[in-house]
Amino acid sequence: MATVETAARLHFGFQNLSLAHERLYGSLGVSLAAPRLQVEADPAETVAADHEAAREYARRATDVLDVPGATVSVTEALPRHIGLGSGTQLALAVYAAVARAYGTDPDVRTAAPALGRGGRSGVGIAGFERGGFLVDAGHPTGRFTTDRPADGEWQVPAVVARHELPDDWRFVVAVPDADPGRSGDEEEASMRSVIERADPAIADRISGVVSRRLLPAAAGGRRSAFGDAVAEIGRLNGAWYADAQGGVFRPPVGTIVDELSDCPAVTGAGQSSWGPTVYGLTDVDGADMATEAAREALDTAGVDGDVLVAPVRNAGATVRGGAVESE
């Protein structure tokens, strides 16, 4: 048996969604230590899985690896379609577990396109590989006009910056009981609509925030400056999405972000991906105050939900079993 353990990621936004620039997308995000995903796999003559999405990824993995089949179990799952990167982590974890079950060292970066991952953002794949805070290079705009190529016909964006963030930093994560974020065909249609109208001037502003504020703060471990820069990037991304999602943040996320931002222990509140997950950056000393603020923010927004506090995961997925073990 092979076992793979990985965890969620937060997506802070993209550097560019305008067709007027040479590179499209270019995502920014961070790997979290929780919530976690764990997958187990054994060699088999056919594909079997106790999880519908895992079964499809197992089929793709056996095709990529040219093996007859696998029995896959998801023993710990990430919540789906809430902005925590569950799809990419599950696809890569299933592939890595099946590969290792057959004694093969998995190459997730090469396999990801055939699994349907990395067509826009590369931070989930980079997080699976190495964890930490990540920025990817995006895709050539000429290849990725308003429609992405068919699965397998792209390369995962290269990592242009990675930093391990301080051990005492924490992200408070609020997950309201709201409609799931967009995925599949709905997400594709929304992204096409956004890209067709995206203002290139917003990308220019984001570029300045990334180069002059975010990256220096990450390199220096300056939490307040890092959080402020992340929050600004989130708001600028929201300006692109305002028509598609009903505002800079999708309802009821805007209320939660505003309330969480008012907490003195929190810096850098925002929406992860399409939401509805909201994050705020704090530290060990401020975690209790930030947690209470997140609960109060949910109450103010008039929704139930869950709140957790997670450290940054500064390492990649753990893969055990088969011929080799690695972390």
User: pLDDT digit string (tens) for 120-140?
Assistant: 999 999 999 999 999 999 999
Look at residues 31, 132, 14 and name the one whose alpha carbon lies nearest to residue 78.
Answer: 31
Residue 180 lies in a domain: yes
Within-domain flag for 37: yes
- pLDDT the model gives residue 183: 59
Question: Is residue 54 over pLDDT 70?
Answer: yes
Q: What is the pLDDT of residue 326?
A: 47
Q: What is the CATH number of the domain that holds 109?
A: 3.30.230.120
- The residues that bridge with 39 in the sheet, in sequence order, are 4, 74
Least confident of 33-37, 160-164, 166-170, 323-327: 323-327
- Give the count of beta carbons closer than 10 Å to the beta carbon of residue 158: 11
Please report which confidence band the pLDDT of residue 250 belongs to, taking 50, 70 and 90 as the band edges: confident
Residue 325 domain-assigned (yes or no): no
pLDDT at site 77: 97
Please report, rounded to a whole number, the percentage of residues in the chain having pLDDT higher than 90: 83
More confident residue, 38 or 250: 38
Q: Give the pLDDT of residue 321.
A: 86
Split at pLDDT 50, 70, 90, the class of 251 is confident
Q: What is the pLDDT of residues 254-293, one digit of tens each?
A: 999 999 999 999 999 999 998 999 999 999 999 999 999 9
Which amino acid would we find at residue 54?
Answer: A
Mean pLDDT of 164-170: 98
In-domain check, residue 326? no
Residue 205: which residues within 8 A CB-CB, separation 6 or more?
236
168: which DSSP letter?
Answer: T
CA distance 19 to 141: 6
Among residues of the chain, what percentage have pLDDT more than 70? 94
Q: Tell me the average pLDDT across 20-29.
A: 96
Reduced to 3 states, what is the DSSP secondary structure of residue 31?
A: strand
Q: Compare 140 and 147 and report the one with higher pLDDT.
A: 140
Model confidence band, residue 144 (pLDDT cutoffs 50, 70, 90) = low
Please determine, for residue 198, whether its predicted confidence score (pLDDT) is greater than 50: yes
Could you give the CA distance from residue 230 to residue 257 in angstroms, rounded to a whole number?
13
Q: Does residue 53 have a pLDDT over 60?
A: yes
Quick one: pLDDT at residue 324? 47
- Token pair of 316 as six digits: 């990649």
Q: Which domain holds residue 67?
A: 2-320
What pLDDT does residue 143 have? Answer: 75
Phi–psi pair at 42, nearest 5 degrees: -125, 150
Tell me whether residue 327 is in a domain: no
Summarize the confidence of residues 177-197 as an average pLDDT: 77
Is residue 205 a part of any domain in this protein? Answer: yes
Host H or E run for residue 169: strand 169-176
Residue 8 has pLDDT above 70, yes or no: yes
Kindly report, residue by residue over 207-246, the tens digit of the pLDDT. 999 999 999 999 999 999 999 999 999 999 999 988 878 7
Domain assignment of residue 181, yes or no: yes
What is the total count of domains within the chain? 1
